[in-house]
Amino acid sequence: MSEMDFIHNVIPRTDVIKCTARIGAEIGNIKLSADLPDQTIAAINSLVLEHKVIFFRDQGHLDDAEQERFALRFGKLSPYPEGLTPILEIDSAVGDIHADIWHIDWSCMDAYPKISVLRGVVIPPVGGDTVWSNTAAAYLDLPLPLQRLADDLWAVHSFPGSYLRPSADAFTGPMIETEHPVVRVHPETGERTLVLGVYVARFVGVSKYDGQRLFDLFESHITAQENTVRWKWKQGDVAIWDNRATMHCATKDYGDQRRVVRRATIEGEVPVSVGGRYSVPRFKFVGRNES
């Protein structure tokens, strides 16, 4: 039995509606819970690998505890630098975590999360969409000379990231920095995916001037419309994505309305470059006041 036959024997083909040709699918007629059969969890994981991000409507029965239990079916929960709570709340009324900039969740970590599970809790009546991009498709769109260039490049990802640079000196939380290949080989699909986003501080061996232009060039392919899907949230929606093959960006266009989403992330693997080298952690959960 092929992988696709297995998926469709568990989740009917008619319940998988593609959002775009390259990324995203909405899955119907499944009530997410930690008690789903192993074959259903395996089918969901396969759909995440295939479509990069999948969406489930009408999951209002989930609370934080059940979201955590469900996420655990995909692996070990990944801690957040802000704290060790299994569920991270992103509340527009509490503070701005700059989710409206293209990023890979916690790419400053060496083994950054492989899967993210995001639940819509309070959704504004207008706006607040999230956009995802397929970084494997973006890599394939690069002309061959640019693919070869990207294959050889490494970048330093740091927290505080580049978008926090003006206030970095006042930051007292954990300092994290990792050297990642710009192209990683996906451990499950074998695809080559681009590893960039807002945590990138600099390219290794490249001047800041040239690095900024390289960053803009590769990011322009990642964020090209043909590689993206835009999700219009409703309360109770759940999105699950492959954090190794996507980047995403929240849309901050809802004015003074409140937006609350809660996310669980699953611990990932240390990336491996096209040449077989592993990412190198420089600083790992080290506070500024520690020796």
Contact (Cβ atoms closer than 8 angstroms) between residue 193 and residue 49: no
The token duo for 251 is 């849309």
Among residues 184, 248, 259, 262, the one annotated as catalytic is 248
Among residues 22, 73, 184, 263, the one annotated as catalytic is 263
Q: Helix (H, G, I), strand (E, B), or coil: what is residue 28?
A: coil
The token duo for 1 is 């039995």
Residues ≥6 apart with Cβ < 8 Å to 166 = none
Q: Helix (H, G, I), strand (E, B), or coil: what is residue 201?
A: strand
Whether a cis peptide bond, with omega within 30° of 0, leads into 81 is: no
Does the annotation mark 105 as catalytic? yes
In the chain, at which residue ranges do the beta strands (DSSP E only) sit? 16-18, 25-27, 53-56, 88-91, 115-122, 130-134, 154-159, 174-181, 183-185, 192-194, 200-203, 228-231, 238-242, 246-250, 260-266, 280-287
Does the annotation mark 248 as catalytic? yes
Gap between the Cα atoms of 64 and 57, Å rounded: 17
Among residues 22, 73, 103, 192, the one annotated as catalytic is 103
Among residues 22, 51, 105, 242, the one annotated as catalytic is 105
The token duo for 64 is 């934080």
What are the catalytic residues? 103, 105, 248, 263
